[in-house]
A and B are shown apart, each in its own frame.
Chain A
Amino acid sequence: MSASLLLLIILALAAVGFVIGRGRALRSVQGDRRRLHSLPNYYGFNVAMLAFVPAVLVLALWVVVQPMVVNSAVSGLIPHDSYADAGALNLIMSDVKRVAHGLDAVAAQGIVQKIPLSEMNVGNTDIRGLLGSVGVALGSDVTQDVLNAAQEFRAKSAQGALWMSIIVLVVALAGFFAAIRMTNGDLRARNLVEHGIKAVLIGAAMIAVLTTLGIILSLIFNTISFFGMFPMADFLFGMTWSPEGRGGSEHLGILPLLWGTIYISIVALSVAVPIGLFAAVYLSEYASRTTRAFAKPLLEVLAGIPTIVYGLFALTVVGPMLVGFFGADGLNWMQGARSVMTAGLVMGIMLIPFVSSLSDDIINAVPQSMRDGSYGLGATQSETVRQVVLPAALPGIVGAILLAASRAIGETMIVVMGAGAAARLSMNPFEAMTTVTAKIVSQLTGDADFASPEALVAFALGMTLFILTLGLNVVALMIVRKYREQYE
C-alpha cells in the first residue's frame, strides 16, 4: 500500500471517528448536551485526533527512515573493490536505485518476460534494453553486482512497505478504539483537544527550530571539511580570488568578495535609507489620509517585484545610463555597464519600500501625545519630527535599517546581473566587482565535483555570510535594547 493511500485511509478513519465519538458522547447523556463536560464536537475531535495524529507521525517517520535503512543494507552488497571513495559509491547506489525503479516499472506494466524478474541475470537478459523500453535510460550496461543489489533493494523496499502499512493501520485503529472506549459524558474532551492542539503547535515550532539547526550544522560540517583541504588563513586573508576548475586552486581568498558585498551594500543603503526614511516621514506625518491611502500601497508594490526584474533593470537601463555619464564618452571612469554603482543603485531602489514601510509603521507607533507635547511648546512640524518623533522611533528605525542591510548582503540576482563576476579589490565604484552570494552560485553551478575545495568553499562563504548577518542582527538587538531601557 502506498503512503498516500495509507494517509487517505487514516483520514477516513478519523472522519468516521469524529462522527462515532460525537454520537457516543451524546448517547451517553441521552442526548442532553447540557450534561456533557464539553461541547459534542470536542468528543468527535478527540477521537479523530487520536486516530489520526499518532498514525500520521509513524507514517512520516517511516517514509523518512526506510530509504536510509534499505540504502545502507543494500550498499553492503556492492564489493569494496569496485569503488574508490564515498562519492563513487553514491554514484553506484543511484544506478542501483534506477535499475530497481525500472524493474518496478516492468513489473507494474505487466510486460511478459521469458524469464521471470526474480531469475534474471546479466547473462540471460538485456537489462539495459528492457529498462529502456519502460522509459528508464541507463548510461552503461548493468553489472551483475548492480542487478543483485537492485533486486535486493526491491525486495527490502516491498517488505518495508508492507510492514509500514500494517503498523500504521494498527496504530490508527488502536488510537481509534482507545478514544472511542474512553468517550463518555464525563470525559474532559475539551481539555484533551486543547493538549492535542498545543502538541501540534509545539511540533511546528520544533520543526522550524530543528531545520534551522540542521542547516547550520550542515554549513559547519562542510566548512570544516573545506578547511581540511584549504588553509583557513589563506581563505580569510587572501587578497585574490581565482578558482581553477578541479582542485589545485591556490587563490580562494574571501577578501575581494567580502569587499564587493560590503561596497555594494553601502551604496544600496545610502540610496535606500535616506529616501525610504524621508518617504516614511512624509507618509506618516505630512500626507493627508487620501494621499497616504494611495501612496503607501503603491510603494509596497515595489517590494513585490522579483529581484530578477530589478536585475534586468540594472542591466538594461541603469548600467547603460551610468556608462553614458561616467563612461568613455563622459568622465571615463567606467568601462562597462556592470559596476558596483549599477548594482548598488538598483539594490537601493529595491530596498526603499522595505525601509519606508517598516519605518512608517514604527513612526506611526510613536504616541500622538509626544507630538501634542511638542506642538504645545510651539515647535513646528519638522522640529517635532526631528527632535521628538524620530528619536522616539530610532530603535525601531535602526532595526529596520539593519534588516535592510541583511537583505542587501544576501541579495544575489541584482549582483549577478548588475555588478558582474570579476572578484576585485578596488575603491572605484564604477568598476565591476562581485559578491559572496554571486560566487556561491557560480561555485556550485556547472560540473564542479562536490568534494573539491572549489565547491566546498561555497559553504565557507555561506558560513561567512551567516556570521555577518547574525552579527548585524545581534547588534540591532543590542541597540534596540539599549534605547528601550532608556526610554521606557
Chain B
Amino acid sequence: MNDMTKTEKALEMKTSKISAKNVQVHYADTHAIKDVNVEIEDKTVTAFIGPSGCGKSTFLRCLNRMNDTIDICRVTGDILLDGEDIYDRRVDPVQLRAKVGMVFQKPNPFPKSIYDNVAYGPRIHGLARNKADLDDIVEKSLRRGAIWNEVKDRLHAPGTGLSGGQQQRLCIARAVATEPEVLLMDEPCSALDPIATAQVEELIDELRENFSVVIVTHSMQQAARVSQKTAFFHMGNLVEYDDTTKIFTNPEDPRTESYITGRIG
C-alpha cells in the first residue's frame, strides 16, 4: 500500500504541469478558496466539478492570474507552472496568459473578422514572421478548433456572425493560436446545444495530445466523457481529486458520492 502511493507520487511528479499548494482566495470578505492543493498533469484533461458557487471558476482563474483583473480579489499560496511560481514578482501576468490560455463560458469572439480573431494572439505576441506564416498559424489553429472546414471560405466575415457552437470553437481556435501549454475552459459548453457540445467535447479530446486541459463543467456526464482526472470542489474546499473513473465509480468522500448521485446540487 505504502509502496504504491510512492510510485504513484513519483509518476505524478514526472508529468505534473501545474502544482498548486495551499492556495487561498479571498474576495474582500468572502473566503472563496480554502487551502487547495492539486497537481495538474501534462497532456491530460482535468475536470473541475462541484455545485454552483463552490469556487471552481475562481480557482481556474488563479491558474492564469485572471483574478488580477478583479480589484478585490486576493490570492495566497503557491502555484507552480513547470516548477516556476507564477505569482512571483518577476513573472509578467501578460506573458503567463499567453502560455495558459482560457476559453470562457459564453463564446466571446471579438467584433472582428474570423481571421483577425484567430490572428489576435499571434499578432500581439509576435509569433509570425510574415503574412504567410500568420496565414499558416490561423489555418492550423482553425483546424485544431475543428472549424476550418466551416469557415475557410469566409475568413474575412465577422466572427460574431457565426452560430453559438461555431463561435465557441472559434474561441478555442483563438486560444490555441498562441500555442499555450495549458488550456483553461470555464463551462465551455453551457451555452451550446447538444450537437455543438458533442463537437466541442470531441475537440477537447484531440487537444489533449498537445495541451494540458482543465475544464470546469456542470455536467457529470461531460466530466466522465472527456476527462482523465476529476477534482470535486465543495464550498471552497477541494474534497476529492482522483482518476475520473475512480471518482465516478468509487468515490472516497461521502460528499462526492452525494454530488455525483445528485443529492447535493
Contacts and interface: CB of A to CB of B under 8 A. Distances in A.
A289 B71 CA distance: 10
A487 B160 contact: yes
Contacts of B124: 377-380, 383, 387
Interface string A357-385: 00000000001011111111111100100
Contacts of A392: 110-111
Contacts of A383: 124
A238 interface: no
A179 to B, nearest CB: 54
Interface string A476-488: 0000000000111
Interface in B145-188: 158, 160-161, 171, 174-175, 178
B112 interface: yes
Contact of A372 (B94, B96, B108): B108
Contact of A376 (B101, B109, B111, B160): B101
A377 B111 contact: no
B145 to A, nearest CB: 14
Contacts of A377: 97-98, 101-102, 120-121, 124, 174-175, 178
B108 A367 contact: yes
B143 interface: no
A388 B160 contact: no
Contacts of A391: 110-112
Interface in B52-77: 64, 66, 69, 71
Interface in A245-288: 288
Interface string A452-487: 000000000000000000000000000000000011
Contacts, number: 79
A393 to B, nearest CB: 9
Contacts of A371: 69
Contacts of A379: 94, 120-121, 124
Contacts of B5: none
Contacts of A488: 160
B246 interface: no
A387 to B, nearest CB: 7
Interface of A: 288-289, 367, 369-380, 383, 387-388, 391-392, 486-488
18 contacts: A372-B102, A374-B120, A375-B97, A376-B97, A377-B120, A377-B121, A377-B174, A377-B175, A378-B98, A379-B94, A380-B94, A383-B124, A387-B120, A387-B124, A388-B110, A391-B110, A392-B111, A486-B160
Given A376-B103, A378-B125, A391-B111, 19 more contacts: A288-B71, A370-B110, A370-B111, A373-B109, A374-B110, A375-B66, A376-B101, A376-B102, A377-B98, A377-B121, A377-B174, A378-B97, A378-B121, A378-B178, A379-B120, A379-B124, A388-B111, A392-B110, A392-B111
